């Protein structure tokens, strides 16, 4: 019983931590972008301001119940996913889910969002979703190969085990030093999954008016901002857990997660975007090839 | 043209009642502060003024440091920037767009054209005074105003928002009949936007004595129904 | 004891008397046919019931191998009972005017029973010729130009076939000096040479014209599609089987060597391929059924080509099954003739007929638990047991052919169940009389389905008996005849060694 | 007369009653209730689902010297449960108001009920088969009974039915050949003899037999390349019928394959068989067939514009998962495969019923002619949503659990490429089910659908029950894993060690109870944030929509539905070559050509010539 209670506490705490870290990740992303463009960039609490403002809108419009539920699922799915992602000192229910579950659980928010957007009856939104799902199909293939490689390498799908194994021998047993090729492919896939340039065809503001977000105002958009911070957090922490030995303590954990996230973000703002079919072609070619080579090394 | 000119009439300013709960007050102030520090703008590039916005956003002047970001749809935006002359056809879209924005929403008229028609003041096809059709919070005059001026204007707006003074959007709900009358005068009596302003005003208790009137009656007589699709079992 | 000869004599006599009687009393003439058939049925059933072991009857008191013998075992008596039965069902009761058809039918019945019962090649030849004559007349009975043309085709082929068969018989006679089947069986070793085998080939091909063996069956589609359905049913259902029976008898008594079996197998296989493929493409029901019966006969032949009892039981099962199903199907074409496309709406017009068609079709395809399945199962197991590349090829051919068969039969069924134009649909109505006839076959089929277990045992018993060469010889030759007796014991030893 | 006989008897009686009374008004309800009785009879032998011993039927026949016997074990019981369950759902669905409309449009609901109950009976006979012969008999009965169901709709459905029956017959003949060979090798049709003799089979025999049986049973499963018949045949069946067929019919192929190939011949031998010039063993080859069976049909489904076809194509694809799981041969994978049979059946039943409900109201299943129905048919939407989440294999529905087991096993076994292939299939499924729900229920409501209502309760209730089952078995997969484990035991696999919430192993476990708890907790937090924070949202009309300043009107279609994945198709569109269709049509062309050639013989003017030629040839054969 004690354990259950503790687990529940962790499950409650982990999303809160994730949200806070996620907000800073959003900030970091925007700051980096600004720096790259030789701007000052937003102030420290800008992500929070945005969210509070959006929730504080006086009039809000909704296109129906599914529109609402979409946002709920988008946020809720990530809240749940965070409980599966171990952080230093807290494992949550990572042992009861594991890597595959996490990979699939992170689809729940996207699909919830997709449902909500569909309900809006806005063609831009639908086009956006169609593109988003297409790019999910594109980047999930290398991603899933990477997951297989890691799970096979550590012969476990339990993230706690995977992290423990990596930490056991220091840097030399980290995923990145044992499977460098897979790590590169994983980074690529992670970048694509973030939906930043050059893989943001489904947002394409000038073309389809931010796609899925086209009808989202007020707290709907606020929910999506929350989701974004969770998304950045999940992606980077998952990568850290798979390849960088997770967090020995909070300092290294934060360093690693922010560091990992910085890479795609820096790359992102140097690029325009790919067309959908180009995106698919690119992602199915390079990261998949890398991942397969990586797998070949792992399987030996 | 409509009988009354509202452009200078202040909104029936219900002073924000200080609530007894100090925490609620703090919360309200926090929200107002956040509103002022996070302004998503939709620049409706009707004319030449639009060209001055990119410099305002990019590295030279960097609006983002003030929390101002461009957005692409009215649903997401707080500020509507009308950057130049508004032809009658464009005006329809401007009104549609304005009505689709979520309140609190602010309108900034950039360039002289939005103030009085500017160099198009003789044109038959141009709406001269923007605030006869939608309430405008702030004009930034000039032909065209430089980015510094734009940012200066935005900062003024920020200050007004912070103190809850930028309430022109309430005017639209409270005097909807007036605005609708002007719009009908220009577009004919069949004029209708997809947004149900009256319903919105009722839902959010933003009605004033002048929300409904003769023009809204005309509207009701010609209106295609706009009730949301209810979920039916 | 010689009552069984009446099954041959009575109908032949009646056939010749019928024209005379009909001159004096038409109503008497109408009754005489069915009456004779009933009598035939009575005789053969009586024997069938009494029969405990096969018997040979020497007619005219001459002992075999000199005299005319009738070989009575379960198989021949079964066929002999089926002949009047099926004739009774297909009898032209509605025909009030003429006597020609009745007369020919009686001739056919008499010669057919003769063929089924005969124990020597000469008699077989004679009855076969009689049978041919009767069937020519019947095929042309409806006197249309097309029927005459088709019958001529039939006649030419059949004539040539007879010549070949006669040559074959002659060859056998030169080799063995006898035409009695049992005696031939005794002297089978003398036939195991090119001349003997050639004789077999000639007889198979000659008789094969009636048995619809590939490729001497060029007359089949023409005749069946122009003759009246009753006649087609008779020819396809009954006569072909009798021809096969002759080949089987020869096979059992004298040709157990692999060469003869291979010939049958190859011809059967080709027959299956040719028949089913042609049926697949045919555009009207009658032709389709005739092609299908070519295919089915091919399967029967393949079955008989399997050595030993397994082949016999499979063959008899296939034969009997086809004998029940095909006449039923042919009777359906009474009103469902012409292009297959015109069948649209047939099921609406006479639903019972459509159901019966489905029943026959399913059994023909070999869908369990219908009798056709058990026959096919026997065939399959037999082929696999034989286990040589050629037999396995035959298995493959058989199974592929079944697929094709399923396709064209179901295609037709689906056409029947699709919507048709009103005018067209009216024409497709089956009369109650035809339906009754078809239902008889269906009832037989369903009875067989229900009594499958005892029927199967009986079938195996029949097959065991009729595939027993020693028994056949032993039956014919009385135990007294010493030299023959020696040979019999020798054969028994041989079979034991095998 | 034991309980198994009672079950079969009730089933037969159901079929007979619904057949005889097919014109009666109440026959629908009668059939549904009788099916419920069957279900209860099945429950009376539920000990089989919990590791009970085999129940032998008292009926024994001997035909042509071959004994026929029937029996039920854990595997049969598991499949029978799904069969009767699916039939119940469909039957109840079809019994009420649906039937009236169906009748009005020229259908015969009684005949549909009869066809379904006949299918159930034949399936039970197949599932109960106790030797190869009764297996084959049951197999053929099932094949032909489902033909009846498929052609009921008439028109185009009959063409699909014909296609089906040709494939099915080909499959059956392949099986018959296999059974014949076994009979040759063992001298009997009994399972026990086969199992005993299997170890002595030579490699050639193992290969030939496996291929014959897998091809034969694979036809019904829609295993590549024998899948072309399935989608159309299932899709064109009248609504509830397609739910039933889609849910269970093709799994009969899996059942028979499990019995004969997995259990009796033994897959272990297939691992030993190396395919020359490759690295693959026979089992690997089969796994790749399964993988392609997952991928190709799933991506064909992605291109469908008819909801029923889309689902039916998925049915083929999902069969590949089951194959894949079972071919993995370890406790986890095989449990995944078997569990997927159950899960998929519930998903597919729910989906087909929901689509049937949509068709009931809108008269179309064309994905380009629907949209926005969620406001009009919210409960149907809910059912469809639950169904697609399950079908796509996303938590928290049951489809996820079975797929998880398969993935887990693929990782344990170290098969990366197959793993990727499986996931590619899942991703394709996600894409196409989203298209399904988007194009029917989300987006713009068409003018002509403004006034439609939710379907009546007689249709809703079965749908909701199935949806509930999907959720509950997703929440507590242990409920089904009980049955799966005894089915595994019956098959000779090591049963999976499971918990109520899923699987507990040292290095990677799954606990759906926790997972669902956390997920719904998360949704709760999301809801709290959404409804607790900020003003209440006002519902707006669908025309109040941002379209770049454009005024939308109801008479203009702006629902983005056609060519939904345009970008993806731009890239992979060219990969759809229709190879299998091409193969099929070339086969038909060949047959057609050959039959044209064969007919020449019968058109010849000189048939006697052939007689002489043959005579000469055969004389040459003997003399020369």
Chosen for mutation from D160, D215, D608, D612 (greatest number of chain C CBs closer than 10 Å) is: D608
- Both tokens assigned to C77: 């008596």
D428 CA: distance to closest CA in chain A (Å): 7
B→A contacts (Cβ < 8 Å), by residue, are: 30-31, 33-35, 37-38, 58-59, 62, 64-65, 67, 71-76, 78, 100-104, 200, 203-204, 206, 228-229, 231
* Residues D506, D602 share a domain: no
Q: Burial of D226 by CB count in 10 Å (0-12 exposed, 13-18 middle, 19+ buried)?
A: buried
Question: Would D588 be classed as within a structural domain?
Answer: yes
What pLDDT score does C494 carry?
A: 59
Question: Would B3 be classed as within a structural domain?
Answer: no
For residue D427, which residues of chain A lie inside 8 Å, CB to CB? 136-137, 140-141
For every residue of A139-208, DSSP letters joined together read: HHHHHHHHHHHHHHHTT---HHHHHHHHHHTGGGGSHHHH-HHHHHHHHHHHHHHHT-TTS-TTT-HHHH
Put simply, the answer to whether C417 touches D598 (Cβ < 8 Å) is no
- CATH number assigned to the domain comprising residue B128: 3.40.50.12280
Task: Name the residue among A81, A83, A76, A21 with its Cα closest to residue A229.
Answer: A21
What pLDDT score does C281 carry?
A: 87
- Both tokens assigned to B70: 């461009």
For the segment B60-91, what is each residue's pLDDT rounded down to a tens digit? 888 888 888 888 888 888 898 888 888 888 88
For the segment C104-143, what is each residue's pLDDT rounded down to a tens digit? 888 999 999 888 888 888 888 989 998 998 888 888 887 8
What pLDDT score does D482 carry?
A: 87
Does the structure show a pLDDT above 50 at C479?
Answer: no
Does the structure show a pLDDT above 60 at D152?
Answer: yes
Question: Would B4 be classed as within a structural domain?
Answer: no
Residue D359 structural domain: 274-518+549-576
Most confident range, picked from A245-249, C345-349, D215-219, D329-333: D215-219
Put simply, the answer to whether A53 touches B35 (Cβ < 8 Å) is yes
Q: What is the mean pLDDT of residues C454-472?
A: 86
Chosen for mutation from D443, D537, D541, D556 (greatest number of chain B CBs closer than 10 Å) is: D541
What pLDDT score does D385 carry?
A: 92
Q: Which of residues 185-214 of C touch D (CB under 8 A)?
A: 194, 197-198, 200-202, 204-205, 209
Q: Which residue of D has its CA nearest to A121?
A: D443
C45 CA: distance to closest CA in chain D (Å): 24
What pLDDT score does C482 carry?
A: 46
Percent of chain D surpassing pLDDT 70:
100
Do D and B make contact via 3 or more CB pairs under 8 A? The reply is yes
Percent of chain C surpassing pLDDT 70:
93
Q: Tell me, rounded to whole angstroms, the distance of Cα D341 from its chain centroid.
A: 8
Chosen for mutation from A30, A39, A41 (greatest number of chain B CBs closer than 10 Å) is: A39
* Residues D557, D619 share a domain: no
For residue A34, which residues of chain B lie inside 8 Å, CB to CB? 62, 64-65
Residue A32 structural domain: 2-299
- Signed CA dihedral, D196, D197, D200, D203: sign only: negative
Most confident range, picked from A152-156, D153-157, D337-341: D337-341
* Residues D587, D502 share a domain: no
For the segment C175-200, what is each residue's pLDDT rounded down to a tens digit? 888 888 888 888 888 888 888 888 88
* Residues D401, D309 share a domain: yes
Does the structure show a pLDDT above 90 at C29?
Answer: no
- Both tokens assigned to A184: 């590169």
What pLDDT score does B3 carry?
A: 47
For the segment A125-144, what is each residue's pLDDT rounded down to a tens digit? 888 989 888 988 889 899 98
Residue ending a domain, choose from B125, B143, B165: B165
What pLDDT score does D345 carry?
A: 92
What pLDDT score does B6 carry?
A: 55
Does the structure show a pLDDT above 50 at B2?
Answer: no
What pLDDT score does C210 carry?
A: 87
Angle at B117 between CA B116 and CA B119, to 5 degrees: 120
Q: Give the largest Cα separation in chain C, rounded.
A: 76
Q: What is the mean pLDDT of residues B158-174?
A: 86
Q: Taking all residues of chain C, what is their mean pLDDT, rounded to a whole number?
A: 85
Q: What is the mean pLDDT of residues C390-417?
A: 90
**Interface A-B: count of C-beta contacts within 8 A:** 100
Which residues contact residue D403 at a Cβ distance below 8 angstroms, ignoring those fewer than 6 apart? D321, D336, D340, D393, D422, D426
Q: What is the mean pLDDT of residues B196-220?
A: 84
Q: Taking all residues of chain D, what is their mean pLDDT, rounded to a whole number?
A: 87
D537 touches chain B (CB under 8 A): no
Chosen for mutation from D611, D613, D621, D624 (greatest number of chain C CBs closer than 10 Å) is: D611
Does the structure show a pLDDT above 60 at B185?
Answer: yes
What pLDDT score does C62 carry?
A: 64
Decide: D277 and D284 in contact? Cβ < 8 Å: no
Place of tokens 């066929």: C79
For every residue of C401-462, DSSP letters joined together read: HHHHHHHHHHHHHHHHHS---HHHHHHTPPPHHHHHHHHHHHHHHHHHHHTHHHHHHHHHHH
* Residues B134, B46 share a domain: yes
Put simply, the answer to whether D376 touches B232 (Cβ < 8 Å) is yes
Put simply, the answer to whether A64 touches B228 (Cβ < 8 Å) is yes
Q: Taking all residues of chain B, what is their mean pLDDT, rounded to a whole number?
A: 82
Question: Would B10 be classed as within a structural domain?
Answer: no
* Alpha-carbon torsion, ordered C33, C36, C40, C41, to 10 deg: 70
Q: Indicate the DSSP class of residue C61.
A: T
Among A283-287, B3-7, B196-200, D372-376, where is mean pLDDT lowest? B3-7
Residue B87 structural domain: 22-165
The three-state secondary structure class of A226 is helix
Task: Name the residue among D459, D249, D238 with its Cα closest to residue D341.
Answer: D249
Put simply, the answer to whether C453 touches D184 (Cβ < 8 Å) is no
Put simply, the answer to whether B228 touches D539 (Cβ < 8 Å) is yes
Q: What is d(CA D233, CA D246) in angstroms, rounded to the nearest whole number? A: 10
Q: What is the mean pLDDT of residues C52-61?
A: 74
The three-state secondary structure class of C290 is helix
What pLDDT score does C452 carry?
A: 86
D546 touches chain B (CB under 8 A): yes
Question: Would D209 be classed as within a structural domain?
Answer: no
Q: Which of residues 397-416 of C touch D (CB under 8 A)?
A: 399-400, 402-404, 406-407, 410-411, 414
For the segment D314-368, what is each residue's pLDDT rounded down to a tens digit? 989 998 999 898 888 888 888 899 999 999 999 999 999 999 999 998 988 888 8
* Residues D357, D326 share a domain: yes
β-bridge pairing D55-63 and D498-499:
unpaired
For the segment D529-568, what is each residue's pLDDT rounded down to a tens digit? 888 877 888 888 888 888 888 888 877 888 888 888 888 8
Question: Would B11 be classed as within a structural domain?
Answer: no
Counted domains in chain D: 2
Radius of gyration of chain A, Cα coordinates, nearest whole angstrom: 19
D13 CA: distance to closest CA in chain B (Å): 38
Does the structure show a pLDDT above 80 at D624?
Answer: no
Counted domains in chain B: 2
Put simply, the answer to whether B103 touches A57 (Cβ < 8 Å) is yes
What is the CB-side half-sphere exposure of residue B114 using CA atoms within 13 A?
35
D376, D536, D541: residue with CB nearest B227: D541
Put simply, the answer to whether B34 touches A49 (Cβ < 8 Å) is yes
Question: Would D36 be classed as within a structural domain?
Answer: no
What pLDDT score does C493 carry?
A: 62
Put simply, the answer to whether B232 touches D453 (Cβ < 8 Å) is yes
For the segment D167-199, what is each residue's pLDDT rounded down to a tens digit? 999 999 999 999 888 888 888 888 888 888 888
Place of tokens 């590295």: B59
* Residues D375, D494 share a domain: yes
What pLDDT score does D384 carry?
A: 92
* Residues B84, B112 share a domain: yes
D378, D541, D549: residue with CB nearest B231: D378
Does the structure show a pLDDT above 80 at D122?
Answer: yes
Percent of chain A surpassing pLDDT 90:
8
Does the structure show a pLDDT above 80 at B142?
Answer: yes
Chosen for mutation from D65, D150, D605, D607 (greatest number of chain C CBs closer than 10 Å) is: D607
Question: Would B151 be classed as within a structural domain?
Answer: yes
Who wins on pLDDT, C269 or D613?
Answer: C269
Q: What is the mean pLDDT of residues B40-52?
A: 82
Q: What is the mean pLDDT of residues C221-246?
A: 88
What pLDDT score does D349 carry?
A: 92
pTM value is 0.90
* Residues D569, D587 share a domain: no
Q: What is d(CA D316, CA D480) in angstroms, rounded to the nearest whole number? A: 23
A39, A48, A214: residue with CB nearest B59: A39
Q: pLDDT category, C480, cuts 50, 70, 90?
A: very low
D389, D501, D527: residue with CB nearest A72: D527
What pLDDT score does C478 carry?
A: 59
What is the CB-side half-sphere exposure of residue C386 using CA atoms within 13 A?
29
What pLDDT score does C488 carry?
A: 55
Which residues contact residue D422 at a Cβ distance below 8 angstroms, ignoring those fewer than 6 apart? D291, D294, D321, D324, D403, D406, D407, D410
Does the structure show a pLDDT above 60 at C497?
Answer: no
* Residues B147, B34 share a domain: yes
* Residues D585, D514 share a domain: no
Question: Would D363 be classed as within a structural domain?
Answer: yes
B-contacting chains (≥3 CB pairs under 8 Å): A, D
For the segment C324-372, what is each residue's pLDDT rounded down to a tens digit? 999 988 888 888 877 888 888 888 888 888 899 999 999 999 888 888 8
Which residues contact residue C275 at a Cβ distance below 8 angstroms, ignoring those fewer than 6 apart? C214, C291, C292, C293, C294, C295, C296, C297, C298, C401
Question: Would D605 be classed as within a structural domain?
Answer: yes
Counted domains in chain A: 1
Question: Would D167 be classed as within a structural domain?
Answer: no
């Amino acid at each position: 019983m004690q354990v259950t209670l503790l687990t529940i506490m962790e499950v409650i705490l982990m999303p809160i931590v994730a949200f806070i870290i996620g907000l800073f990740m959003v900030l970091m992303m925007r700051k980096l972008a600004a720096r790259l463009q030789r701007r000052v960039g937003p102030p420290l609490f800008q992500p929070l301001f945005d969210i509070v403002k959006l929730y504080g809108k006086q009039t809000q419009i909704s296109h129906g119940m599914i529109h609402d539920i979409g946002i709920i699922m988008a946020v809720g799915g990530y809240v749940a996913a965070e409980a599966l992602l171990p952080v230093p000192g807290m494992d949550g229910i990572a042992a009861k889910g594991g890597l595959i579950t996490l990979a699939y659980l992170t689809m729940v928010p996207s699909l919830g969002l997709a449902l909500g957007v569909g309900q809006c009856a806005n063609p831009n939104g639908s086009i956006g979703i169609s593109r988003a799902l297409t790019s999910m199909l594109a980047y999930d293939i290398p991603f899933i190969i990477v997951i297989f490689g890691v799970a096979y390498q550590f012969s476990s799908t339990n993230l706690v085990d995977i992290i423990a194994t990596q930490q056991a021998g220091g840097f030399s047993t980290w995923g990145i030093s044992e499977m460098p090729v897979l790590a590169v492919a994983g980074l690529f896939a992670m970048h694509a999954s973030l939906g930043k340039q050059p893989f943001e065809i489904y947002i394409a503001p000038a073309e389809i008016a931010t796609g899925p977000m086209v009808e989202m105002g007020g707290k709907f958009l606020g929910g999506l901002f929350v989701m974004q911070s969770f998304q950045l957090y999940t992606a980077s922490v998952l990568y850290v857990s798979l390849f960088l030995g997770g967090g020995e303590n909070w300092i290294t954990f934060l360093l690693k997660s922010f560091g990992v996230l910085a890479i795609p973000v820096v790359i992102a703002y140097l690029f325009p975007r790919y067309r959908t079919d180009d995106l698919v072609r690119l992602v199915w070619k390079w990261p998949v090839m890398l991942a397969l080579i990586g797998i070949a090394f792992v399987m030996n | 043209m409509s009988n009354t000119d509202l452009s200078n009439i202040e909104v029936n300013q219900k002073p924000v009642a200080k609530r007894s709960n100090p925490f609620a007050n703090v919360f309200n102030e926090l929200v107002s502060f956040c509103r002022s520090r996070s302004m998503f703008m939709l620049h409706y590039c009707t004319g030449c003024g639009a060209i001055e916005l990119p410099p305002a956003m990019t590295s030279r002047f960097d609006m983002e440091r003030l929390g101002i970001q461009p957005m692409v749809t009215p649903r997401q935006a707080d500020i509507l920037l009308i950057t130049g002359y508004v032809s009658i056809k464009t005006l329809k879209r401007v009104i549609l767009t304005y009505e689709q924005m979520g309140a609190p929403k602010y309108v900034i008229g950039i360039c002289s054209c939005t103030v009085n028609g500017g160099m198009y003041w003789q044109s038959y096809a141009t709406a001269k005074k923007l605030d006869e059709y939608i309430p405008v919070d702030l004009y930034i005059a000039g032909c065209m105003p430089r980015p510094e001026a734009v940012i200066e204007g935005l900062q003024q707006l920020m200050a007004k928002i912070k103190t809850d003074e930028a309430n022109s959007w309430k005017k639209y709900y409270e005097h909807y009949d007036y605005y609708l009358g002007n719009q009908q005068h220009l577009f004919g009596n069949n004029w209708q936007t997809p947004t149900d302003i009256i319903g919105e005003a009722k839902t959010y208790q933003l009605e004033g004595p002048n929300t409904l009137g003769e023009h809204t009656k005309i509207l009701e007589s010609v209106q295609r129904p706009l009730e949301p699709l209810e979920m039916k079992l | 004891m010689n009552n069984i000869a009446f099954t041959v004599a009575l109908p032949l006599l009646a056939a010749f008397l019928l024209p005379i009687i009909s001159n004096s009393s038409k109503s008497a003439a109408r009754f005489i046919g069915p009456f004779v058939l009933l009598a035939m049925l009575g005789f053969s059933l009586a024997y069938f019931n009494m029969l405990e072991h096969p018997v040979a009857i020497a007619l005219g008191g001459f002992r075999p191998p000199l005299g005319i013998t009738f070989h009575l075992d379960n198989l021949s008596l079964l066929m002999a009972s089926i002949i009047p039965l099926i004739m009774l069902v297909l009898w032209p009761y509605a025909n009030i005017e003429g006597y020609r058809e009745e007369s020919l039918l009686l001739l056919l019945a008499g010669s057919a029973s003769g063929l089924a019962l005969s124990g020597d090649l000469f008699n077989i030849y004679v009855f076969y010729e009689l049978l041919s004559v009767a069937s020519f007349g019947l095929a042309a009975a409806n006197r249309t130009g097309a029927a005459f043309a088709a019958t001529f085709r039939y006649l030419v082929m059949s004539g040539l076939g007879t010549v070949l068969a006669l040559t074959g018989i002659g060859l056998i006679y030169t080799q063995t000096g006898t035409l009695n089947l049992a005696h031939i069986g005794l002297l089978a070793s003398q036939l195991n040479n090119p001349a003997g085998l050639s004789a077999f080939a000639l007889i198979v091909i000659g008789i094969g014209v009636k048995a619809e063996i590939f490729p001497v069956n060029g007359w089949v589609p023409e005749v069946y599609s122009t003759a009246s359905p009753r006649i087609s049913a008779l020819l396809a259902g009954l006569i072909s089987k009798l021809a096969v029976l002759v080949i089987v008898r020869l096979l059992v008594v004298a040709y157990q060597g692999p060469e003869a079996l291979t010939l049958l197998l190859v011809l059967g296989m080709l027959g299956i391929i040719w028949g089913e493929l042609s049926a697949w493409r045919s555009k009207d029901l009658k032709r389709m059924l005739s092609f299908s019966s070519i295919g089915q006969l091919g399967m029967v032949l393949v079955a008989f080509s399997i050595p030993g009892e397994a082949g016999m039981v499979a063959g008899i099962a296939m034969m009997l099954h086809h004998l029940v199903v095909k006449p039923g199907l042919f009777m359906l074409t009474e009103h469902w003739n012409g292009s297959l496309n015109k069948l649209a709406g047939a099921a609406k017009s006479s639903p019972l007929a459509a159901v019966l068609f489905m029943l026959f079709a399913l059994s023909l395809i070999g869908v369990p638990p219908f009798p056709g399945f058990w026959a096919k199962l026997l065939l399959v197991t037999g082929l696999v047991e034989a286990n040589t590349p050629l037999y396995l090829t035959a298995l493959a051919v058989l199974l592929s052919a079944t697929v094709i068969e399923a396709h064209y039969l179901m295609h037709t069924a689906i056409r029947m169940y699709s919507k048709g134009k009103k005018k067209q649909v009216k024409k497709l109505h089956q009369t109650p009389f035809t339906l009754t006839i078809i239902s008889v076959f269906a009832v037989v089929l369903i009875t067989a389905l229900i009594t499958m277990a005892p029927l199967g045992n009986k079938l195996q018993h029949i097959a065991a008996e009729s595939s027993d060469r020693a028994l056949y010889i032993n039956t014919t030759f009385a135990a007294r005849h010493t030299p023959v007796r020696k040979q019999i014991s020798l054969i028994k030893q041989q079979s034991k060694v095998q | 007369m034991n309980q198994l006989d009672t079950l079969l008897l009730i089933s037969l009686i159901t079929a007979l009653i619904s057949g005889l009374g097919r014109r009666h008004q109440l026959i629908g309800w009668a059939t549904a209730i009788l099916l419920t009785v069957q279900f209860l009879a099945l429950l009376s032998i539920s000990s089989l689902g919990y590791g009970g011993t085999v129940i032998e039927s008292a009926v024994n026949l001997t035909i042509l010297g071959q004994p026929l016997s029937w029996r039920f074990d854990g595997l049969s019981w598991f499949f029978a449960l799904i069969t009767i369950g699916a039939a119940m759902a469909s039957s109840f669905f079809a019994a009420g108001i649906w039937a009236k409309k169906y009748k009005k449009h020229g259908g015969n609901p009684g005949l549909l009920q009869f066809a379904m109950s006949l299918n159930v009976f034949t399936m039970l006979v197949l599932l109960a088969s106790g030797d190869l012969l009764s297996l084959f008999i049951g197999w053929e009965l099932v094949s032909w009974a489902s033909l009846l169901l498929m052609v009921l709709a008439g028109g185009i459905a009959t063409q699909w039915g014909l296609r089906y029956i040709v494939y099915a017959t080909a499959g059956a003949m392949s099986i018959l050949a296999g059974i014949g060979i076994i009979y040759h090798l063992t001298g009997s049709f009994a399972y026990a003899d086969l199992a005993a003799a299997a170890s002595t089979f030579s490699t050639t025999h193992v290969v030939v037999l496996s291929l014959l049986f897998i091809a034969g049973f694979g036809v019904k499963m829609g295993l590549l390349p024998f899948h072309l018949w399935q989608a159309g045949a299932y899709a064109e069946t009248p609504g509830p019928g397609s739910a039933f067929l889609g849910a269970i019919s093709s799994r009969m192929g899996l059942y028979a394959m499990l019995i004969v190939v997995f259990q009796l011949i033994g897959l272990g031998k297939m691992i030993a068989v190396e395919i020359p010039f490759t690295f693959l063993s026979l089992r690997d080859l089969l796994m790749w067939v399964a993988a392609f069976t997952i991928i190709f049909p799933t991506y064909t489904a992605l291109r469908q514009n008819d909801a029923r076809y889309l689902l039916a194509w998925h049915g083929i694809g999902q069969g590949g998962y089951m194959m894949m799981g079972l071919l993995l041969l370890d406790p986890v994978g095989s449990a995944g495969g078997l569990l997927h049979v159950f899960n998929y059946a519930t998903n597919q039943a729910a989906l087909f019923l929901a689509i049937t409900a949509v068709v009931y109201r809108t008269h179309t299943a064309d994905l380009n002619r629907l949209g926005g129905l969620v406001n009009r048919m919210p409960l149907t939407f809910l059912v469809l949503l639950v169904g697609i989440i399950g079908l796509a294999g996303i938590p928290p529905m049951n489809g996820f659990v079975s797929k998880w087991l398969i993935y887990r096993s693929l990782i344990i076994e170290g098969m990366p490429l197959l793993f990727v292939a499986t996931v590619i299939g899942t991703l394709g499924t996600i894409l196409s089910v989203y298209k399904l729900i988007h194009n029917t229920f989300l987006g713009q409501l068409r003018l002509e659908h403004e006034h439609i209502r939710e379907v009546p309760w007689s249709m809703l209730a079965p749908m909701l029950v199935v949806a509930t089952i999907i959720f509950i078995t997703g929440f507590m997969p242990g409920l089904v894993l009980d049955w799966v484990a005894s089915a595994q035991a019956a098959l000779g696999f090591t049963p999976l060690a499971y918990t109520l919430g899923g699987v507990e192993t040292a290095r990677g476990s799954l606990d759906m109870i926790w997972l669902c708890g956390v997920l719904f907790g998360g949704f709760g937090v999301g809801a709290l944030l959404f409804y607790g924070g900020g003003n209440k949202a006002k519902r707006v009309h669908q025309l109040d929509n941002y379209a770049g300043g454009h005024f939308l009107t109801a008479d203009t279609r702006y629902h983005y539905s056609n060519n939904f994945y345009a970008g993806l198709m731009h890239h992979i569109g060219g990969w759809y070559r229709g190879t299998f269709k091409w193969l099929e049509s070339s086969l038909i062309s060949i047959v057609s050509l050959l039959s044209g050639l064969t007919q020449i013989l019968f058109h010849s003017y000189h048939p006697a010539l052939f007689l002489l030629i043959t005579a000469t040839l055969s004389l040459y054969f003997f003399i020369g």
